[in-house]
Chains A and B, each alone.
Chain A
Amino acid sequence: MTETLRHPILHALAVAACVAVCLGGCGRGGEYPDGPLVLVCPWSAGGGTDRLARQVAAQLEGELGVPVNVVNATGGAGVTGHTRGAMARPDGHTFTIMTAELSMLHWRGLTNITYRDYEPLMLINRDDAALFVKSDAPWQSIGDVKEAIQRDPRGLKASGTAQGGIWHVALAGWLVAEDLDASDVIWVSINGAAPSLQELMAGGVDMVCCSLPEAQALLDAGEIRCLGLMGAERLPTYPDIPTFREQGIDWCLGTWRGLGVPVGVPEARKARLTEAIRRVVESDEYLEFTRQAGFNPAAEGPAEFGQALAALDEQFGAILTTDAFKSVQTSRFGPMVFPGVLSGLLAATVIALLATRGAKGPAAARIDGRGMARMAMVIAWVALYVAFAEHAGFMLTAGVLLFVLLWQLEVRWYVALSVAAVVAAVVYQVFAVYLRVPLPWGTWWSG
């Protein structure tokens, strides 16, 4: 096999084929959208937001005729994704599925990104908070729970999301509305509704506050009971569940999801995208999907959505900046407890290693000058990739860098050239086209 690889003609053919494929892809720069769109999702694959994003993306592909790729930019309680979406190039090729956290993160000092960094396109879903207890719990109504809290402040535990998350705000806000202290119920900070419900089942917490679709399976199975919905009216799918308002306490709060683009996208492109999204969220297919998945569908256009965002921001600001809520947020076991313990243990380990004369490692080959140069080369290689990929595009950057590295390792130049060309082209085809990884096409080539 290696013998055949030595024919220069074969290599010339391979390079020519790859160049032809690349040139074939260059006929872009037509009418918007002229390339794949990226839908940034701040939450992980498989969650509610992700499911909604993927449904919208799949249907948008049909409407726009270009691939719509969902990218899960997760982490940082939503900071990562919302920041990435707001900072994206405003060319209409990147849009974001924003969630209620957008109205909360900046009030808690976690980011500078607010709803003003986005231009709203469409509000696509609203879900109200609801309060759940185990089926064998003694409480039958919101009033029963309130009494129990009054009788024994800090005796009950609740969860549903992390400290300061949307469902925590919902519960604390209700307590304040009932003239109780926001810290009268201990909030156990558990990330996500599913593990919180697991904790409810295991008896670790007494109640869970989350949206109805998140708890649907356990609710239908009769394992848990819903005491009330923090919405304006009952849900058509669960007409038996009363609202908080019906039980005599005027308290509404819920989460929302909507689509937006970074500020500065040309009007015409925004209008085209909004139009396509409207057709999607009003389609029977989408409505059927939301009904079955338990999402409460909505379709509020840019103007309405913008007003809603401003109102929500104010509402959350009012709750999150009150003293009552700030006091709940400070935890006795602060963020430095765990790293502190670890550092102590690490120091002890190092001391023990030194004391037992175990600090000297196994005999490793000395790195000579050439080895050092090679290491520096790898670092420079990665740095150059990061610096150029976005502008020159993946194929050119990867191809050139591969060629240089191969050549440095004394691979014959024509072998290096063809390996670089073939690998770069194949990787682009597989990752970017089939697997929807948004490998950059390059800003130098498209407007």
Chain B
Amino acid sequence: MSEVVLEAVGDVLGSVQIWAVVVCCAAYGIFMGAVPGLTATMAVALFIPLAYWLDPLPALAAIVTMEACAIFAGDIPNALLRIPGTPASAAYADDAYAFTRRGEPERPLGVCLLFSATGGLLGALMLILVGHQLAKVAVLFSVAEYFWLYLLGLSCAVIVARGSVLRAVFGLLLGLLLSTVGLSAVHTQARFTFGQAELYQGINFIPAMIGLFGVSEVLRNLVTFDAPTAGEKGRKVSRAGTGLFRRCVYEPVASVVGPAASLLRRRTPHVIRSGAIGALVGMLPGAGADIGAWVSLAVSKRFSKRPEEYGQGSLEGIGDASAANSSALAATWIPALVFGIPGDSITAIVIGVLLMKNIRPGPEIFEKQTALIYSIYVVFILANLVLIPIGLLAIKLGGFVVRIPKKVLLPIILLFCVVGAYAINGSYFDVWIVLGMGLLGFGLERWGVPLGPVVLGIILGGPLEERFIQTLTGSDGSFAAFFNRPLAAALGGVCMALWISTATLALRRKKTDQA
């Protein structure tokens, strides 16, 4: 066994090709993740024709690296421009952006980077140590369990939202209603389409997210913008008497990594908790990193000593959520490798690549392809380590964006929002969605409705309805089906407990406010 492990480590670390692939794909993944509208799935899909020419291991190494780097890179526009690069980042968009508005964009990004890498490593460890056992748990989840799981994720979005619970619930329901536009997936019947063929595809959540967060922020800036204002001035640091290395390498690195590393040391148990939550949610096909991030953030807030900071710049929350979404990523490989059931669109492509290389995913893969499996594990670890220097570079480059004067930056952001929306599906309809959602987001924020629950509602509305109808169809209409499996009953109980505690907390807070 240990021989195989050593051989795998040697295979990976000793190969120039793997190193080259990992470093290139890290840069590529960061770019794809950082540009709103370009996704990790797109990055991987574009890479497929190339994968044909590569050996299985470099091909898989490329995908692992892209994925790990893209999910971190989603945090960069999230923090700098309040445009989440991936839905998983939307959970802490306001937290991260709060720092940029205070002129310290590097603080949340440093935390995101280190916690993402740590979370990724934790996820990889879960995959390595208990992947086999977890896969057996994952296949126990039927539609009723998924229904509760999605509801749990949605409830978490309400819990982490800042301010009034009722307003967050309002936002959530609005998002869920928006998700019902288009062809109902479970009935395959058109709803709220008003005879417009384009509305059949419904409201795609990526343009919706770019609109709600990005365009609404551009609007807010433009509406309250007084030209000509001076651009934010970069702080001048006295640099006399320091060496070149210190000035150009050590200080920029230390300023990002230093505070984040000390936070990581202080919060080790929390990070492990978040990584575990991320991995447990991530290994369930169809749940993935988004729900992982929200659930972990909600748990983090519930047990935090400073819950009032959440939503307006809590580094603890940012750290816990970004650790969870990265850890969820590795966990999506568990059902894919063990049973050939893809957890998300990327692992679906992974299975395709494996088949293309004549490797059949399934329990046998661990016996027949032991060397390859161990090599994949090593690649997971390598990718998360390579992420740190490359991510650091990306943070430094991203820093230039905030130095551009606002009056130049805002039009460019608007163009990127439009192009990003178009890039998803090549459809002008999505461009309209971006604009519509931008206006909606602008209005909702003025009315004090948090945007996070709206986005999660749009993302999970479809699956939630599907599981709801499927459970009822399967039981021939009996609502008992939501509780008559032990696992479903347990998840349902957790959900109910969560609502009751949230409601009592909100009521108690109201009382103390009035008193």
B431's partner among A51, A385, A411 (CB-CB below 8 A) is: A385
Chain B proximity of A99: nearest CB distance (Å): 15
A103 interface residue per 8 A CB criterion: no
Q: Is the CB of B426 within 8 A of A436?
A: no
Seen from chain B, the residues whose Cβ lies within 8 Å of a Cβ on chain A are: 38, 41-42, 44-46, 48-49, 52, 139-145, 163-164, 166-167, 169-170, 173-174, 176-177, 180, 182-192, 197-198, 200-202, 204, 215, 218-219, 222-225, 227-228, 231, 285-286, 335, 339-342, 345-346, 348-349, 351-352, 355-358, 360-364, 403, 405, 407-408, 410-412, 414-416, 418-419, 422-423, 425-428, 431-432, 434-435, 438-439, 446-448, 465-466, 468-470, 472-474, 476-477, 510
Task: Given A188-B470, A195-B285, A217-B339, answer yes or no on A292-B187 (Cβ-Cβ < 8 Å).
Answer: no
Whole-angstrom distance between the alpha carbons of A349 and B44 in the complex?
42
Closest 5 A-B residue pairs measured CB to CB? A217-B340, A75-B201, A221-B362, A58-B49, A76-B200
Digitize A362-373: 1 where CB-to-B-CB distance is under 8 Å, 0 elsewhere. 101101000110
A-side contacts of B415, CB under 8 Å:
398, 401-402, 423, 427
Seen from chain A, the residues whose Cβ lies within 8 Å of a Cβ on chain B are: 1-2, 38, 44-47, 50-51, 54-55, 57-58, 70-77, 79-80, 83-84, 108, 110-111, 154, 157, 162-165, 186-191, 194-195, 197-199, 201-205, 216-218, 220-221, 223, 289, 292-294, 331-339, 342-343, 345-346, 349-350, 352-353, 356, 358, 361-362, 364-365, 367, 371-372, 374-375, 377-379, 381-382, 385-386, 389-390, 398, 401-402, 405-406, 409-411, 415, 419, 423, 427, 431, 435-439
Q: Is the CB of A154 within 8 A of B476?
A: yes
B-side contacts of A38, CB under 8 Å:
426
A75's partner among B204, B356, B473, B476 (CB-CB below 8 A) is: B204
Q: How many contacting A-B pairs (Cβ < 8 A)?
A: 312
Task: Given A191-B466, A409-B227, answer yes or no on A339-B38 (Cβ-Cβ < 8 Å).
Answer: no
Q: Other CB < 8 Å A-B pairs besides A339-B191, A406-B411, 6 of them?
A: A51-B48, A79-B197, A80-B425, A163-B187, A361-B447, A379-B439
Q: Is the CB of A419 within 8 A of B342?
A: no
A189's partner among B174, B285, B356, B466 (CB-CB below 8 A) is: B466
Whole-angstrom distance between the alpha carbons of A262 and B349 in the complex?
29
Q: Is the CB of B419 within 8 A of A431?
A: yes
Whole-angstrom distance between the alpha carbons of A57 and B435 in the complex?
33
Chain A proximity of B284: nearest CB distance (Å): 9
Q: Is the CB of A410 within 8 A of B228?
A: yes
Q: Is the CB of A75 within 8 A of B412?
A: no
Q: Is the CB of A189 within 8 A of B428?
A: no
Whole-angstrom distance between the alpha carbons of A387 and B473 in the complex?
45
Whole-angstrom distance between the alpha carbons of A405 and B418 in the complex?
14
Can you name the residue of chain A whose Cβ is closest to the Cβ of B336?
A: A217
Task: Given A334-B187, A385-B431, A386-B431, answer yes or no on A198-B362 (Cβ-Cβ < 8 Å).
Answer: no
Q: Is the CB of A346 within 8 A of B173?
A: yes
Q: Is the CB of A220 within 8 A of B360?
A: yes
Task: Given A108-B188, A154-B476, A195-B286, answer yes or no on A292-B356 (Cβ-Cβ < 8 Å).
Answer: yes
B-side contacts of A47, CB under 8 Å:
348
Task: Given A46-B346, A76-B200, answer yes or no on A342-B177 (Cβ-Cβ < 8 Å).
Answer: yes
A-side contacts of B38, CB under 8 Å:
435
B340's partner among A202, A216, A377, A405 (CB-CB below 8 A) is: A216
A-side contacts of B362, CB under 8 Å:
217-218, 220-221, 223
Task: Given A2-B231, A199-B143, A374-B223, answer yes or no on A162-B341 (Cβ-Cβ < 8 Å).
Answer: no
- 11 sample A-B contacts, Cβ–Cβ < 8 Å, listed by A number: A51-B349, A57-B49, A58-B48, A73-B201, A154-B476, A189-B473, A194-B342, A221-B339, A339-B180, A375-B439, A378-B215
Select the residue from B222, B363, B405 with max chain A CB neighbours within 10 A: B222
Q: Is the CB of B352 within 8 A of A51?
A: yes
Task: Given A2-B231, A75-B182, A194-B341, answer yes or no on A338-B469 (Cβ-Cβ < 8 Å).
Answer: yes
Select the residue from A111, A365, A386 with max chain B CB neighbours within 10 A: A386
Q: Is the CB of B412 within 8 A of A339?
A: no
B469's partner among A84, A189, A435 (CB-CB below 8 A) is: A189
B142's partner among A202, A409, A436 (CB-CB below 8 A) is: A202
Q: Is the CB of B180 within 8 A of A358?
A: no
B188's partner among A77, A293, A436 (CB-CB below 8 A) is: A77
Task: Given A216-B360, A423-B412, answer yes or no on A346-B177 (Cβ-Cβ < 8 Å).
Answer: yes
Q: Is the CB of B185 within 8 A of A162?
A: yes
Q: Is the CB of A74 within 8 A of B227?
A: no
Task: Given A356-B166, A382-B435, A406-B408, answer yes or no on A371-B142 (Cβ-Cβ < 8 Å).
Answer: no
Q: Is the CB of B41 within 8 A of A46?
A: yes
Chain B proximity of A137: nearest CB distance (Å): 15
B-side contacts of A343, CB under 8 Å:
177
B-side contacts of A57, CB under 8 Å:
49
Can you name the residue of chain B whose Cβ is closest to the Cβ of A370?
A: B223
